[in-house]
Structure 1
Amino acid sequence: MTEQPKGPAGYFPSIEQKYGRPVAEWKDLIRSSPLTRHGELVSWLKAEHGLGHGHANALVAHTLAEDGGK
């Protein structure tokens, strides 16, 4: 039995299924945005790309953590 990802990565399969884009594309969008603050990025993903709050929050949190806070 495989272990389920924990934390923000646990949302990734449902994000890909619901929005039809791989997580890598979402991360690239976040990284290319001129916005830098977590809340601003979450709001932008929700307003411009139609993501739900939990999905947007998970993507931003994971991306910023990978990048050391951007």
Structure 2
Amino acid sequence: MTDTAKGPASYFPSIETKYGRSIAEWKHLIHTSPLTKHRELVSWLKTEHGLGHGHANALVAHTLAEANSK
């Protein structure tokens, strides 16, 4: 039985394929950004890196949730 990613992580394969960076690279960019708010980070990824809204939102949501759970 194969586990299928759920929630924001379900976007990760298409994000890596479409934008040519690993999820680890995107998370590193988010963590090193001076921005901290969800909306600001989504807007920044869209404007500076050309991500679509859904992909940017999924990356930010997953990265911030992961950071808050530590």
CA shift, 1:2, in A, is 1.1
Runs of 4+ aligned structure 1 residues displaced above 2 Å come to none
Which residue is equivalent to 1:42?
42
The letter for the 1-side match of 2:68 is G
Q: Which stretches in structure 1 are left out of the alignment for 5+ residues?
A: none
Which residue is equivalent to 1:26?
26
CA shift, 1:60, in A, is 0.1
Which residue is equivalent to 2:6?
6
CA shift, 1:4, in A, is 1.3
Relative to the length of structure 2, the TM-score reads 0.95
Q: More deviation in 56-65 or 1-10?
A: 1-10
Q: Which stretches in structure 2 are left out of the alignment for 5+ residues?
A: none
1:11-66 deviation line (CA, Å, top 9, x unaligned): 00000000000000000000000000000000000000000000000000000001
| Alignment root-mean-square deviation, CA | 1.1
